[in-house]
Structure 1
Amino acid sequence: MTVYIVAQITISDRETYGKYEQGFMPVFNLFDGKMLSVDEAPHVLEGDWACTRTVLAEFPDRDMALAWYNCPEYQAILPHRLKGAKAHIAILNGFPAPAA
């Protein structure tokens, strides 16, 4: 089942976060991920949206999403994001494919 990763990120140090960004896509692309949105100015319909960047990504399944997050290549760049930003990140299940 398709899963989505949603990340609400508040960037505090653009230079350090930039080091994370430099390595992100090459690692992300190894795991059949699809970047659906990266937005720093979403149109908020309700409530507060205090983060400075929102990311929506798609993976074929939960195992692939977790394999990406836990792989050594991603873990090597992760400290740059942890140092340069705070984030709230979740995996969301997609809807099951309709029966044929």
Structure 2
Amino acid sequence: MKAYVIVDVTITDPVRYEDYKKLTLASMQPYGGKFVVRGGAAEILEGTWQPGRVVILEFPSAERAKTWWSSPEYTPAKAIRQSASTANMIVVEGVA
């Protein structure tokens, strides 16, 4: 079952974050990951959530998403992201 990694990012170092963006896609591809949303315009319809940059990644399964997140391919990019931003990130299973 497909799974989605949903991220709400607040960028603290835009220059360094650009380095992160350059590495992410290649790190996801061996795990079947792809971008669904990558920081497009967001509009609040209900509630008080004030998201920063919203990113949604699609993977073949939650297991593949978690394997990517802890993978050696993603580790260098993750270190850059963590130094250039703060984030909330979840993985959620899609509908069968």
Same structural fold, with TM-score higher than 0.5 when normalized by the shorter chain: yes
* Total equivalences in the alignment: 96
Q: Supply the AA of the counterpart residue of 1:12.
A: T
Write the deviation string for residues 52-80 of structure 1: whole angstroms up to 9, x where unpaired: 21011111111111111111120122111
Q: Equivalents in 1 of 2:59, 2:74: separation in Å?
A: 15
**Which structure has the greater CA radius of gyration?**
1
User: Contact 2:2/2:60 (CA < 8 Å) preserved in 1?
Assistant: yes
Structure-2 change in CA distance of 1:48 and 1:41 (3 Å): farther
User: Contact 1:36/1:56 (CA < 8 Å) preserved in 2?
Assistant: yes
Identity %: 28
Q: Tell me which stretches of 4 or more aligned residues in structure 1 moved more than 2 Å.
A: 47-52
- 2:72 maps to what in 1? 72
**Structure 2: any 5+ residue segments left out of the alignment?**
none
TM-score (norm 2): 0.90
Structure-2 change in CA distance of 1:11 and 1:40 (3 Å): farther
Query: What CA RMSD, in Å, does the superposition of the two structures yield over aligned residues?
Result: 1.3
